[in-house]
Amino acid sequence: MFGLGIWEILVIGVAALIFIGPDKLPGAARKTARMVGDLRRTADSFRAELMSDRIIEVEPNDESVPRGADADVSQEQENIDDIS
């Protein structure tokens, strides 16, 4: 979980208990969990929309679309060969 070990999570929990206080800690934890959930849903929705746009615009097996630097180099090589 975010690269945090048990000791880091424990330190964050103790610091939250000290700074926020035991009265407000459950509400703050609920609010933080809700915000993280909303952020994840938004990120997943954004990622899904980007992937659907990409699939619609460029099909994976479409040979007319150059793929990466190798396609640019081979196209330039063909242009050079045509000139010579």
Give residue 49's domain range. Answer: 22-57
pLDDT in tens, the chain (84 residues): 467 889 998 998 899 999 999 899 999 989 999 999 999 999 888 888 887 776 555 455 555 555 554 555 566 666 666 665
Judge whether 84 lies within some domain: no
Q: How far apart are CA 72 and CA 77, in angstroms?
A: 9
Judge whether 49 lies within some domain: yes
Q: How far apart are CA 31 and CA 37, in angstroms?
A: 10
Overall pTM surpassing 0.75 (yes/no): no
Q: pLDDT value at position 82?
A: 67
Q: How far apart are CA 51 and CA 3, in angstroms?
A: 27
Judge whether 42 lies within some domain: yes
Judge whether 80 lies within some domain: no
Nearest to residue 76, comparing CAs of 12, 84, 35, 21?
Answer: 84
- Number of domains within the chain: 1
Q: pLDDT value at position 71?
A: 52
Judge whether 46 lies within some domain: yes
Judge whether 78 lies within some domain: no
Q: pLDDT value at position 52?
A: 77
Judge whether 63 lies within some domain: no
Judge whether 48 lies within some domain: yes
